[in-house]
């Protein structure tokens, strides 16, 4: 009976290999249409818009400032200084999400580790735009201390 036990294991091993080859999982990487390290340096926003439903706030247009510092490993800090409230910072890490042979610009925010959002983007070496869909950012629209989920539209230029 012992020799037959090994024969029963063969189909199980084949099934495991077949499933692992067919599963297409998404993965995070630093290499995509451009290397994330190319973003290292300091950036200033010319647009920092937060939108939800019919409400939209552009921190820069309203007289505030937004700067971003990016390390070569993709870690970043964004400092927001709205004209009508206290300044604050947010941080995270930038990646490419590779899924089905396509790359999507992705951010893992420090406030939500292990979870990432993807963003539309453009990048020409000196200007970076990020456009996120619903719930890809947060802003305190009522200035009452409660951050609300929203979409973001940022344009950064190197300085």
Mean pLDDT of 61-70: 98
Residues in a beta bridge with 132: none
Q: What total of structural domains would you count in the chain?
A: 1
Looking at the domain assignment, is residue 68 inside a domain? yes
Which of 12-26, 71-85, 99-113 is the least confident region? Answer: 12-26
Looking at the domain assignment, is residue 31 inside a domain? yes
Over 50: is that where the pLDDT of 43 sits? yes
Over 60: is that where the pLDDT of 78 sits? yes
Per-residue confidence band for 36, with pLDDT thresholds at 50, 70 and 90: very high
Mean pLDDT of 108-112: 95
In CATH, what number is assigned to the domain containing residue 92?
Answer: 2.40.128
Looking at the domain assignment, is residue 30 inside a domain? yes
Looking at the domain assignment, is residue 46 inside a domain? yes
Looking at the domain assignment, is residue 119 inside a domain? yes
| CA–CA dist 75, 17 (Å, integer) | 36
Over 70: is that where the pLDDT of 16 sits? no
| CA–CA dist 122, 54 (Å, integer) | 25
Looking at the domain assignment, is residue 59 inside a domain? yes
Q: Which two tokens stand for residue 76?
A: 């970043």
Model confidence, pTM: 0.83
Over 90: is that where the pLDDT of 57 sits? yes
Give me the pLDDT at residue 130, please: 98
**Is residue 105 within 8 Å of 92, Cβ to Cβ?**
no
Looking at the domain assignment, is residue 2 inside a domain? no
Q: What rounded mean pLDDT belongs to the chain?
A: 88
Q: Which domain holds residue 103?
A: 26-158
């Amino acid at each position: 009976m012992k020799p037959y036990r090994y024969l029963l294991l063969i189909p199980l091993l084949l099934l495991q290999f077949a499933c692992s080859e067919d599963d297409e999982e998404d993965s995070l990487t630093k290499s995509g249409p451009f290397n994330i390290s190319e973003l290292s340096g300091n950036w200033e926003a010319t647009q920092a818009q937060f939108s939800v439903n019919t409400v939209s706030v552009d921190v820069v247009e309203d007289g505030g400032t937004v700067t971003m510092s990016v390390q070569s490993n993709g870690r970043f800090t964004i400092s927001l200084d709205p004209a009508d409230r206290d300044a604050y910072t947010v941080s995270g890490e930038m990646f490419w999400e590779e899924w089905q042979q396509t790359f999507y610009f992705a951010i893992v925010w420090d406030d939500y580790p292990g979870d990432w959002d993807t963003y539309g983007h453009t990048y020409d070496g000196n200007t970076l735009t990020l456009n996120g869909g619903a719930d890809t950012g947060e802003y305190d629209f009522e200035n009452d201390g409660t951050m609300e989920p929203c979409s973001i539209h940022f344009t950064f230029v190197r300085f």
